[in-house]
Structure 1
Amino acid sequence: MTYPAPWASVPERSRGRLHKEQSETQRGPRDAFQRDRDRIIHSISFRRLRHKTQVFMAPDGDHFRVRLTHSLEVAQIGRTIARVLGLNEDLTEALCLAHDIGHPPFGHAGEDALQAALAGHGGFDHNGNTLRALMTIDSPYPRWPGLNLTWETLEGLAKHNGPIREPRWALAAADAAFPLDLTHWPSLEAQVAAIADDIAYDNHDIDDGLRAGLLDVQQLMAVPFVAGGWKAVCRSNDDIAPQRLVGELIRSQIGAMVNDVIDETRRRIAAAGIANAEDVRAAGQLVGFSPAMREDERLLKRFMYDNLYHHPRQLAAADAAHGVVAGLFTAYHADPALMPDDWSRLPRQEPDRSRHIADFIAGMTDRYAVTRYREAVGPVDLPEGF
């Protein structure tokens, strides 16, 4: 497929930005989606991903993935799929790089703690917080709040996992400011970013789990997709020691999933009679696995939850992390003076007061959250590996 395919997002037909800007040619010959990608890369929110949990919390090994390296790997997979399908690679890359910016420290453990803290004030979810961070909190420009990203980038971040009919407060506020057509499917670029995320963590979490000693290759043979791939890799490399073939297994699985997505997506586009980018939004999910691969991926995910994400060591770390985030929220709510000067002037009324505190905590890295907890609350007992 040659770019642009008829169903690709085209920057010249963008719905624009919330805040009007001066001529975009003054800082180099980049189109709107290229600028979005670059704004994300240069943002403080993106830089902080290097110290935010992917699977292992504040890992003591240099080779484990964090949110930043995961996002880069998602972008690589997303660009590959987008290029073959004739989609806009720059928009795809921007969505892949920014999709995890809204995660608080300690991943899902931190998110659960903030959800509990804001239970009476609209709750918390990392996807809505991504929009809040990029549209309101991270504000490097003097004339408007946020990064002032294009509608297509914000739309893709809001609903890359599909339509949203009951948005929580953060996403509802973003939609009220710049209506994002939440009840329809997003662009193909956004759908590619979502499945690239799945492909990346399905496979790279295996790599990290093996490295950490929480998984072993024999355990993985319980997953038919992995067992078949391992047999093929060993057969093709029978003169190589098995311990050196893990990387080849991961690469072959990623390749199989990517090729499956490309073939299945082409089939769905043809079957739906898609003629342009607007047809995509009314057509339902077009980017996805074939039925056989979808079942393989489902079984792999179940295995990973049972054996890695819910491993006793992981659960102990999650409990400690939940306590750090919950303790910070309680301490700051009781005494806002414990927060830095530029955050300590809290709104007087709820829910704005609690949401303001959550904004501050959600932006923290793992290590900064631990440091602030020790300063504001006291000692914290963290499992080995922090």
Structure 2
Amino acid sequence: MSVRAPWACEPDHSRGRLYEEQKGPERGPRDAFQRDRDRIIHSISFRRLRHKTQVFLAPDGDHFRVRLTHSLEVAQIGRTVARVLGLNEDLTEALCLAHDIGHPPFGHAGEKALDEALAGRGGFDHNGNTLRALMVIDSPYPRWDGLNLTWETLEGLAKHNGPVGDPGWALAAADTAFPLELRQFSSLEAQVAAIADDIAYDNHDIDDGIRAGLLTLEQLLDQPMVADGWRRVESNFPGVSRKRLIGELTRSQIGAMVNDLIDQTRRNIAEAGIETAADVRAAGVQLAQFSPAMQESERRLKRFMYANLYHHPHQLEAADLAHGVVAGLFAAYAADPALMPDKWSETIPADEPWRSRHIADFIAGMTDRYAIARYRECVGPIDLPDGF
């Protein structure tokens, strides 16, 4: 094990778990954060990510990314950065693996449909639902609800994108049960996990977009960061086919962003005088950051991706259909809860807003293909474009 920096989160100094657990050797020689990571990997919520949308809805192609493969790629980047910065790799990995567990079927299209369905009942957001899934819904253990993760893991998931001033109902409920200091910045492990997520989808979505034929290399070369990387790749590998060089371009861009993140974060830690993990949370600023130049390049790349991939007419058409599937399911279950499996129909609350939130809990846990199958069963036929 590499030596950790004094500002890393240490499992022996964890604030503990919501429910006290008996200590003993029967589960193997793992510390608290290693157990969190392993509980996440073994959870039903994590397994479902293999059939949940990343960019392309319920893709047929075996080579497109889904939430599961994306989360694994985020974890690889997160661990690399954490190791170099002397952070806790296991906590970082746990946060990377779990950060998307709260996404409903069809990604942001499904999230929008559930948010509209819960209008006036608290709405829906995937980050709050991550906490709800891990603390309430996914309950494989006999003595408590949820996975009973450590405070540090739950805190990092709650605010890995920064302090939360106005939490939605699900996140507020998690905070009430186990106060997570939502208005403070999170650990460096959580901050690294958040940027590892950005690095992964910024680059891997390019790869998937080109594979799907929705992006072209010529379009991408209008981005200065991509153009610079492409010139280096062509110079280093003359005569190699474009197809193979695109993979090298992705690798080199990830490397450049990771190196920039490490260098800038080290400078920020030194300038802020950080000496402990408590100092990180008290700093009042995000310490894990890109340099100003890389921040601008990354923001410009994101704008390009939204304009040319995420909001591509093909993607918008698919999102409209996916929105209709989720909205249709919610309406059907609200009208007749008996259409849900017995586990869900027999426990539905009688009063609002919990009745509607219960239905949303069920739908949010669905995979893309399960949602499509249930729509056809409960609502009616639906024509879907190629790729579903």
**TM-score interval, normalised by the smaller of the two chains:** over 0.9
CA distance in 2, matches of 1:384, 1:193: 34
Aligned to 1:82, what secondary structure does the other structure show? helix
Question: Which residue number in structure 2 is paired with residue 310 of structure 1?
Answer: 311
Judge conservation of contact 1:188–1:286 (CA < 8 Å) in 2.
yes
What are the superposed Cα offsets for residues 350-381 of structure 1, whole Å, 9 maximum, x if unpaired? Answer: 00000000000000000000000001000012
Question: Which residue number in structure 1 is paired with residue 17 of structure 2?
Answer: 17
Question: Which residue number in structure 1 is paired with residue 297 of structure 2?
Answer: 296
Judge conservation of contact 1:55–1:66 (CA < 8 Å) in 2.
yes
Question: Structure 1 residues 374, 240: CA separation in 2 closer, same or farther (over 3 Å shift)?
Answer: same
Q: Give the residue type in structure 1 aligned to 2:73.
A: E
Q: How many residues align?
A: 386
2:161 is equivalent to residue 161 of structure 1: yes
Which aligned pairs between 1:72-91 and structure 2 lie closer than 5 A? Answer: 72-91=72-91
How far residue 59 of structure 1 moved from its aligned partner, in angstroms, is: 0.6
What are the superposed Cα offsets for residues 168-215 of structure 1, whole Å, 9 maximum, x if unpaired? Answer: 000000000000010000000000000000000000000000000001
How far residue 3 of structure 1 moved from its aligned partner, in angstroms, is: 2.5
What are the superposed Cα offsets for residues 239-265 of structure 1, whole Å, 9 maximum, x if unpaired? Answer: 212222000000000000000000000
Structure 1 gaps of 5+ residues are none
CA distance in 2, matches of 1:199, 1:3: 25
Which aligned pairs between 1:169-180 and structure 2 lie closer than 5 A? Answer: 169-180=169-180
What are the superposed Cα offsets for residues 110-138 of structure 1, whole Å, 9 maximum, x if unpaired? Answer: 00000000011000000000000000000
CA distance in 2, matches of 1:290, 1:24: 45
CA distance in 2, matches of 1:163, 1:255: 28
Aligned to 2:60, what secondary structure does the other structure show? coil
- 1:359 aligns with one of 351, 358, 361: 361
Question: Which residue number in structure 2 is paired with residue 46 of structure 1?
Answer: 46
What are the superposed Cα offsets for residues 272-294 of structure 1, whole Å, 9 maximum, x if unpaired? Answer: 00010000001110001000000
CA distance in 2, matches of 1:239, 1:106: 40
What are the superposed Cα offsets for residues 52-95 of structure 1, whole Å, 9 maximum, x if unpaired? Answer: 00000011100000000000000000000000000000000000
Question: Structure 1 residues 243, 194: CA separation in 2 closer, same or farther (over 3 Å shift)?
Answer: same
Question: Which residue number in structure 2 is paired with residue 112 of structure 1?
Answer: 112
Q: Give the residue type in structure 2 aligned to 1:335.
A: D
Question: Which residue number in structure 1 is paired with residue 386 of structure 2?
Answer: 384
CA distance in 2, matches of 1:252, 1:225: 11
Structure 2 gaps of 5+ residues are none
Which aligned pairs between 1:122-271 and structure 2 lie closer than 5 A? Answer: 122-271=122-271
CA distance in 1, matches of 2:201, 2:27: 36
CA distance in 2, matches of 1:128, 1:347: 20
How far residue 2 of structure 1 moved from its aligned partner, in angstroms, is: 5.5
Question: Which residue number in structure 1 is paired with residue 93 of structure 2?
Answer: 93
Q: Give the residue type in structure 2 aligned to 1:344.
A: S
Question: Which residue number in structure 1 is paired with residue 37 of structure 2?
Answer: 37
CA distance in 2, matches of 1:242, 1:285: 38
Question: Which residue number in structure 2 is paired with residue 324 of structure 1?
Answer: 325
Aligned to 1:245, what secondary structure does the other structure show? helix
CA distance in 1, matches of 2:27, 2:302: 44
Judge conservation of contact 1:3–1:88 (CA < 8 Å) in 2.
no
Tell me the percent identity. 78
Question: Structure 1 residues 192, 24: CA separation in 2 closer, same or farther (over 3 Å shift)?
Answer: farther
Aligned to 2:352, what secondary structure does the other structure show? coil
Question: Which residue number in structure 2 is paired with residue 337 of structure 1?
Answer: 338
How far residue 9 of structure 1 moved from its aligned partner, in angstroms, is: 0.2
CA distance in 1, matches of 2:302, 2:256: 16
RMSD of aligned C-alpha atoms?
Answer: 0.9
Give the ranges of 4+ consecutive aligned residues of structure 1 lying more than 3 Å apart after TM superposition.
Answer: none
How far residue 25 of structure 1 moved from its aligned partner, in angstroms, is: 2.7
Q: Give the residue type in structure 2 aligned to 1:377.
A: V
Question: Structure 1 residues 24, 188: CA separation in 2 closer, same or farther (over 3 Å shift)?
Answer: farther
CA distance in 2, matches of 1:46, 1:308: 26
How far residue 26 of structure 1 moved from its aligned partner, in angstroms, is: 2.1
CA distance in 2, matches of 1:86, 1:32: 18
CA distance in 2, matches of 1:354, 1:228: 50
CA distance in 2, matches of 1:371, 1:69: 23
Judge conservation of contact 1:320–1:383 (CA < 8 Å) in 2.
no
Aligned to 1:342, what secondary structure does the other structure show? helix
Aligned to 2:349, what secondary structure does the other structure show? coil
Q: Give the residue type in structure 2 aligned to 1:48.
A: R
Q: TM-score, normalised by structure 1?
A: 0.99
CA distance in 1, matches of 2:3, 2:357: 43
Judge conservation of contact 1:58–1:366 (CA < 8 Å) in 2.
yes
Q: TM-score, normalised by structure 2?
A: 0.99
CA distance in 2, matches of 1:69, 1:371: 23
